[in-house]
Homo-oligomer: A and B are copies of this chain.
Amino acid sequence: MTGKFEPLDSGTIPRFAGLPTFMRLPVAEPAEVDIAIIGLPFDLGTTNRAGTRHGPRELRNQSSLMRRVHHVTGLSPYDRARVADCGDVIIDPFDLMRSLDLITAHYAGVRTAGALPLTAGGDHLISLPILRGLASDGPVGLIQFDAHSDTYDTFFNGSRYTHGTPFRRAIEEGLVDPKRFVQVGLRGAISDAGNYDYARDVGVRIIFIEEFIERGVADVMAEVRAIVGDQKTYVTFDIDGIDPSQAPGTGTPEIGGFSTREAQAMVRLLDGLNIIGADLVEVAPPFDPSGLTALTGATIMFELLCVLAGVVETKGKL
């Protein structure tokens, strides 16, 4: 049934051959598939070390190493859903606000087309226009894996749209229900003692890395699942949530993060939630000489894809 949307067979076509699409999948339009993998080359929201504009390309490159069937479940996402590389969102590198609108419109189109979007960023600001495109009919739940809260108010003379502010805006705009919003893995020094105040005041649940280490994956994820419940939920995975030894190529690295083992275990425990889309952000190839960050990112994308395929299998074409 989904035969048209299979990765290239690595036993016939070597992994080093062929155009590097996501997961070696065909290129298609969102309307043709159940899950649309989308590149979003954008770093206009970055305060310090830019470079995530090159993220989608390297994620595609490293995704050539991915295979078909999850070894724990024995299931292939390509048997459960139609999946394709739906290309890049084209932004305007000289106009942040216009770019946000272009992204919003793009994701509104993906939603209309009935596909679940799995996005490769791009800096973390992209989650805001993605949510604008997907959540226009009411706030959704949000699960955020990250080193940073990204709920600051403004930077630099009042800039409201940066990769440190998307989720404050999303709450203010009614896109995300702060009571169904949970952040896992936060750590690292902050600029001011009050940096987490807004999030806490509106009801966001912050699970710092120290609490995470204390409690472990299973206990934390049980709480995460309880927080978002069975209503619509978006998942955002900032690669800097993972330890910089396993993901050095990012603009704002913080030591002491998740191991990839923990990250994989957490994503697997998203299974069965009512997920409307997911993104993997902040991969900055210019700071990734070994390519490990993009490999880690591509593998997390595969894990997210398997979860999304479960959603499709359960709910059918949106």
Q: A residues within 8 Å of B by Cβ?
A: 9-21, 27, 39, 41, 43, 46-51, 53-54, 56-57, 60-61, 65-72, 74-76, 85, 87-88, 90-96, 98, 154-157, 159, 161-162, 186-193, 195, 208-210, 213, 243-246, 248-249, 252-256, 259-261, 264, 286-292, 295-296, 299, 302
Asked whether, in the complex, the Cβ of B289 is within 8 Å of the Cβ of A286, the reply is: no
> Which residue of B has the minimal Cβ distance to A186?
B71
What's the dominant secondary structure at chain A's contact region?
A: loop
Asked whether, in the complex, the Cβ of B14 is within 8 Å of the Cβ of A157, the reply is: no
> Which residue of B has the minimal Cβ distance to A11?
B155
State how many angstroms separate the Cβ of A37 from the closest Cβ of chain B: 12
State how many angstroms separate the Cβ of A254 from the closest Cβ of chain B: 8
A87-B19, A243-B260 in contact; A14/B53 too (CB < 8 A)?
yes
Instruction: Out of B11, B21, B154, name the residue touching A191 (CB < 8 Å).
Output: B11
State how many angstroms separate the Cβ of A20 from the closest Cβ of chain B: 6
> Which residue of B has the minimal Cβ distance to A155?
B11
Question: What chain B residues lie within 8 Å of A91 (beta carbons)?
Answer: 14, 17
A49-B54, A69-B192 in contact; A18/B88 too (CB < 8 A)?
yes
Name 20 A/B residue pairs within 8 A (Cβ), A-sorted: A10-B48, A10-B191, A11-B154, A14-B47, A16-B54, A17-B56, A18-B90, A19-B60, A50-B53, A69-B195, A71-B188, A75-B193, A92-B157, A94-B96, A94-B157, A95-B156, A243-B245, A244-B292, A256-B264, A288-B290
> Which residue of B has the minimal Cβ distance to A23?
B189
Asked whether, in the complex, the Cβ of B19 is within 8 Å of the Cβ of A27, the reply is: yes
Asked whether, in the complex, the Cβ of B287 is within 8 Å of the Cβ of A193, the reply is: no
Question: What chain B residues lie within 8 Å of A87 (beta carbons)?
Answer: 18-19
